[in-house]
Structure 1
């Protein structure tokens, strides 16, 4: 058995690495970077009074500080028309525009020269007169076809008669761009090798050392942020799973008895109705019914994590914690109870039709003894499989619950991190959930061997 578990652990390590690598690469392919929108604001925010050059400099400094100026992976496969430094261009709208031009015209040098000349004309125009250029600049950015660019550049040149040098340069680079276009050049791939100086290598080395990095949004170590959030989510998931499992098992045992027809008649339709209610609707119903002055205001709606625990005794802190957690726990229990009860009931029903159960009843054993000592033990195998997948699956429900009830846990932290593009926190949560998923399957193997000794003998 020990060798079997060791083999499973050794197999779990590459699986965990593969999942984490895939999520890392996919997360970096998300559009936008944390802080780019704030840096790009020209009329508000901390960088609102800074000019475009200052905001671009701040953006580059942020990328360098967080390591996002490095290539993503050890190698990259991209169209030959794109440079490997395209991700450094700020803001994102300019980057996407240049990418579109490079794909459409096929020569990065000509695209870059044209773009720089266009910026020179725009910057050399007095601020009071830039509104006249806006429609033609918008035409170029939104419809960079040869005819559209040619007409817009002609109009821009007529609106800037005093900028002879800039106008002549723009017209020259526009003519070069249109004459040298190669619209199929982007079909040629370019394989570039970046070595170990890349974002993935830096992250993987830190992960091997037990470091998840620093949160972009909170400016704190990811491990500390996860430690604060995982406590609430862990108790929420664990208590809800234990309570839902106990209730589902008890209901299943009562329905599988010989005289359980009345229980089946009352429980099964109720569970079917409860299962038809979406989780977020169930959460809102509980808020309206049990946390609203219009009905019964028995529990607080939100505010968990905002009170000062240092000013409370342990008993007071526990009581306040239970007030905030009562509705989320009730919601998760009700949401998962129909599925668990159905699976337990079917597993027990299949076991009840076996010959050894009929033999046990023919011996005159009591119904309770038959169910709990003979039927339940042999029905545990499918139940163990179910429970090994049930606790990790609760994380998806925790995302909704923690968002609706404003609970500072892993689910809410994941939503906030995705919206803010806080990649280190996202990766920390993914690795933690994946590791817990693998551990749950290892625990299921141990429970299998405990429930059925034949499995233990087969694996030794």
Structure 2
């Protein structure tokens, strides 16, 4: 186990190096930069700014400068915000994290329950109804679903705020602040749950259907065990094994933001900032955030492999 862990850590080094090369040079292939997008600057001023930010250097030189800064924990300097990228990410990424974490917990809770019930009641009215609702939710565009939520719950019923993170002009503190924040989170979280619970439900349903047909489940029933014990102690435990890998890959998604949903609900998350950076070609912010997600992805991949070996004794990590 220890040797496997060390090997996987060593494998991360060339993986991250390759990711850094792809990220930097793909963005470098895009013509223009932040300075070129400002029509109010003269040619002389643009030349001064490019020299100041090192944009006039050869691509290879800029890459090694960028990588050297990465080893020091410096993701770059955002030209749009005139602040370090780490500071910009710290200001916006946690807003996306809280929404993503809440939607993740609710989505997995609902998907597990609905998926198990659908599998144990195969082709029943419940299963058919869930299948219809699942595909309906998956086929609905996120912007359309978000607008429906705003129209129904915010405009018509007035139950929840239509957008934003906190009430404009409010000075809430303590529990009042968290209550106001939770009220603004409800609609974005509801939309994200409706968009993602369908596919995850079908995933758990399929896994359960495969497991309940296996010999060890039939043997457990033949021993006279209660159906509840057969389903949740034997079948469900084995059906959850493939989900470990899927759950580990949710780590980057917690920090990547939901671009369309955040735009609709005017939520100040990293997704909206990421799109805005694309518009003005703030490449240091784009590259820094993409590299951050790449690091989280390889780490989550390592965690998934380790957890799979721990959860299933039949898996031997060598």
TM range (shorter): over 0.9
* CA distance in 2: counterparts of 1:9 and 1:321, whole angstroms: 39
Q: Does 1:449 align with 2:309?
A: yes
Does residue 69 in structure 1 map to residue 95 in structure 2? no
Following the alignment from structure 1 to structure 2, what is the Cα–Cα distance between the partners of residues 21 and 29?
Answer: 12
For the pair 1:29 / 2:29, whether they are aligned, the reply is: yes
Structure 2 residue aligned with 1:236: 99
Which residue of structure 2 lines up, in the alignment, with residue 174 of structure 1?
A: none
- Determine whether 1:254 maps to 2:254: no
Hey, what does 1:298 align to over in structure 2? 159
State the structure with more CA Rg.
1
1:56-455 map, 5 Å: 56-73=43-60, 198-257=61-120, 261-292=124-155, 295-304=156-165, 307=168, 311-392=171-252, 398-455=258-315
Q: Bigger CA drift: 319-328 or 332-341?
A: 319-328
Distance in 2 separating the partners of 1:305 and 1:266: 37
Pairwise CA distance, 1:242 = 1.5
Counterparts of 1:344 and 1:388, CA distance in 2: 16
In the TM superposition, what whole-angstrom CA distance separates every residue of 1:78-137 from its partner, at most 9, and x where no partner exists?
Answer: xxxxxxxxxxxxxxxxxxxxxxxxxxxxxxxxxxxxxxxxxxxxxxxxxxxxxxxxxxxx
3-state SS in 1 of match to 2:157 = coil
Provide structure 2 residue ranges, at least 5 long, that are not aligned to the other structure.
none
Q: Give the SS at the match of 2:225.
A: coil
TM-score, structure 1 as length reference: 0.65
Q: State the shift of 1:301 in Å.
A: 2.1
Contact 2:166 2:184 in 1 (8 A): no
Aligned length: 318
Shift of 1:381: 2.2
Contact 1:241 1:391 in 2 (8 A): no
Cα shift readout 1:399-451 (whole Å, capped 9, x = no counterpart): 11112211111111110111111111101110111111112211211221122
Contact 1:20 1:431 in 2 (8 A): yes
Question: 1:274, 1:335 within 8 Å by CA — same for their partners in 2?
Answer: yes
1:249-289 residue CA offsets vs partner (Å, 9 max, x unmatched): 00112122258823213211111222211222212221222
Counterpart residue number, 1:10: 10
Larger relative CO (CA 8 A, sep 6+): 1 or 2? 2
Q: Quote the residue 1:137 is aligned against.
A: none
Q: Deviations over 1:280-339 (max 9, x none)?
A: 2212221222222xx222222223268578x42221111111122111111111001110
Q: Tell me, what secondary structure is at the counterpart of 2:137? A: helix
SS at match of 1:459: coil
Hey, what's the Cα distance between the residues in 2 that align with 1:258 and 1:304?
A: 41
| Inter-partner Cα distance in structure 2 for 1:438 and 1:68 | 30
Aligned-pair Cα RMSD in Å: 2.1
User: Is the Cα–Cα contact under 8 Å of residues 332 and 397 in structure 1 kept in the other structure?
Assistant: no
TM-score (norm 2): 0.93
SS at match of 1:211: coil
Q: 2-side partners of 1:200 and 1:374: how far apart?
A: 52
Decide whether the 8 Å contact of 2:256 with 2:293 is kept in 1.
no
